[in-house]
Structure 1
């Protein structure tokens, strides 16, 4: 993963989070906390919860937080699965899945959809994932994925189809944007979906929109 792309991705997610005005935030699959530490340094959040299935990653994140200038009272880190989330995390302002969904077993994607959009049901969901179409420009050989621990990588059409079905089935609207370049044929290195719980949306559309930056 190139550093420029990683930084652009984090900035894009932070912008989507800032735009929502969220104060209670879930970082699902927080890992070692490149995003989580940045958020923990900001005063505007009342609650930050990170979950991950890897105890070693959470231990490294705790070490990073201990070295950072953050107030610890609003932070909670838990060993947990995105597909079986703790029930007390329902109804947060925003949930973030930053380069984590592609680590999910494809057989569990329906379970993840239910857990995220029906059980947790945050007001906003932000998902980023690699754009498989861009891989050739990053030097990834045909038939390979960017990382050996990825279980799949979606094209733009596949990502938008999954997100559109998730949004329509749970009462969300979803908008898409590119992160990390904008090739005229292959799109960007990463793709981002921002879902909003559509309390007031009764227009009969399929719940999907797109925008470009």
Structure 2
């Protein structure tokens, strides 16, 4: 992966240092998910906090996927971008072997909806840092405990990388927090242990030469449900619980 620093010399451009990722960081995150789908061949995939639905559009082409769901709290974004998930002309000319159903839901990721039960993969790309403390506390019990998919991919900013950006405190005005690697890994391990998942850590967005110690710009946790383990939490109301629009 190439990385550019304006004027070539990282130290000389301080304090107005600019890091450009190639490909752009959001594309690297999406490519990580695409490679993961390619490797694990999930049939049912949900993207929580799907925003402009770009990741869903990229995943549509994978023949293994038979159900693709996006959930977002921003109804306007879903309405303005949803039409781009309609079939292309080429998809009629050369139909898929397996039918694909694409569904967009308006709702909060910390609400339980039984239509998201039994999924192979749930992705949460740059989502958790937008949750306030109450929602963050509810997030694991809904996503890991109730929905309990086979695999979960969570990405979030790595705050240790932030000093390399010009005048950055938080990367986005809507972020409620940004964790360093220890904070994210501590949270992730606690969640994994509680809900019987294993977790591995990786990331995208490599630091420039000389700053390797800060780690990836985006940190990623890959969670896999432990086989044979049944979550102790029981949800008697889990059938036909529809809260999303």
For Structure 1 versus Structure 2, the TM-score category normalised by the shorter chain is 0.7 to 0.9
Residue of 218, 227, 230 corresponding to 1:190 = 218
Q: Which runs of 5+ in 2 are unaligned?
A: 1-19, 93-98, 230-245
Tell me the SS of whatever aligns to 2:199: strand
C-alpha change, 1:77 and 1:157, in structure 2 (3 Å) is same
Task: Please tell me whether residue 151 in structure 1 is matched to residue 176 in structure 2.
Answer: yes
Listed as ranges, the matches of 1:3-82 within 5 Å are 4-66=24-86, 68=88, 74-82=101-109
Q: Are the aligned partners of 1:16 and 1:194 in contact in 2 as well (CA < 8 Å)?
A: no
1:108-119 maps to which residues of 2 (within 5 A)?
108-119=135-146
- For residues 68 and 156 of structure 1, do their structure 2 counterparts lie closer, same or farther at Cα, with a shift above 3 Å needed? farther
Q: Distance in 1 between matches of 2:88 and 2:59?
A: 11
CA RMSD between the two structures: 2.0
TM-score, normalised to structure 2's length?
0.76
Q: Using the alignment, how far apart are the partners of 1:174 and 1:199 within structure 2?
A: 13
Alpha-carbon distance in 2 for matches of 1:118, 1:20:
22
Residue aligning to 2:200 = 175
Q: 1:163 aligns with which of 167, 184, 188?
A: 188
CA distance 1:61–1:42, shift in 2 (3 Å): farther
Structure 1 gap ranges (5+): 202-213
Q: Any residues of structure 2 matched to 1:117-156 within 5 Å, and which?
A: 117-141=144-168, 144-156=169-181
1:7 positional shift: 1.2
How many Å separate the matches in 2 of 1:122 and 1:133? 30
TM-score by length of 1: 0.86
1:11 and 1:95 map into 2 onto residues whose CA distance is 15
> For residues 45 and 10 of structure 1, do their structure 2 counterparts lie closer, same or farther at Cα, with a shift above 3 Å needed?
same
Query: What do residues 8-53 of structure 1 show as CA deviations (whole Å, max 9, x unaligned)?
Result: 1111122223222211001101011121110123322100011101
Give the 3-state SS of the residue equivalent to 2:65 in structure 1.
coil
Q: Is 1:99 matched with 2:126?
A: yes
Which residue of the partner structure matches residue 211 of structure 1? none
Provide the C-alpha distance between the structure 1 equivalents of 2:25 and 2:113, rounded to a whole number of angstroms. 31
Q: Which runs of 4+ in 1 moved over 6 A?
A: none
From the CA coordinates, give the structure whose radius of gyration is larger: 2
